[in-house]
Chains A and B, each alone.
Chain A
């Protein structure tokens, strides 16, 4: 299970991040000041650190400096739009930054990218009879290979990784087609329908009115 250290002085934000992480089954641990956060990070048991910049005791940048040697990837959270701060954070070795306030799925998407980069995500995902090899870009349904376009493949992987979460069309667009893509949400609908058809997911990949789509999780009992 992925373990993530949250260093954030505002209790409610920390709580919110922890709850967000829990929906994709990541385990979050909260520290409320820079000093204890740095100490916790030194243990080296975390896959990722979410670090606030404005912290009591020790600023986020100082924390980053002190935990450089651990090699744990860091995403920092900032309330400032200041470019200089972002550059400073990235120079200090942060993998990415997120500007507050942010949506839950945006946070998860950033975390996902960083974890994938450090090879900490699952490569093989099994869902009912479907088996996906993320690195090998292959997908089989009950042992039979299925032909998918690259974008369709990305859509499948995205839903598999975010089971039980209602994903808006905009979120899918920005996560799979990129922020610059100025496509319409129709594009998303077409791809989802293709995926539903090719993988027989009619009952599982449900439409949520006024929002988007959700992939129901595998029964866990």
Chain B
């Protein structure tokens, strides 16, 4: 090892006594670190333990579950409960499992997410950059909309959907989700577009770009992070929705969450805990996957909106 790569050697021939030099030494096991990591580990355990119980229970057979030790790992691993949850569990008279609910949820999720984000981003862009007449009033109404409790609006929406002939259909639910996503998403996009330097917008206008050209060529390519944030908010929100699903659709159109509830709460015969756990995990898989895939972008998007406000 040469002198230049060995800090000790260099230090030795410039200093006789020990003086502070270079980076401050770190104590791994300082009281502060024990506190921080101890707390973090405890909290993680608190949150992870139920998940652990669910996973192990879903992999056990019913005889093993009857033994009652819920924390014990499965002795005889079986995927039977997962298969049953997906394609065989019964809700009332239907015995085709969660799969139908899954496809219903997908059919609700994809159009509502795309539609709400597409509309809200244009709303936000218009509010941030084109100070049209009445923009402030419009924005205020939208924000108030975000604070009105859902319960108040449930019945009027039932009537509206009935009049439009959409009550009970998937497209009716898509419409409801799109409308309810509007206030918060518009706010999100408006704040993001406000943080984009206004001179960029002016330059594009001098360059002869109009409303849509600026949106598509300038704003869209710059705002991937906020689109990811909006997507995550919508995907998790719509996927996890139970209330609207149960109210505005008919049984054959129930989303996955409603069907999960029906499976778990059906009272005929033995309670199959393993099937229930598997069904719950299956239902939660989509938002979980979205978080894992886009977690980094999510944080970046939130931060990007936060720093420049």
Q: Do A and B come from one complex?
A: no
Which residues in A have some Cβ–Cβ distance to B below 8 Å? none
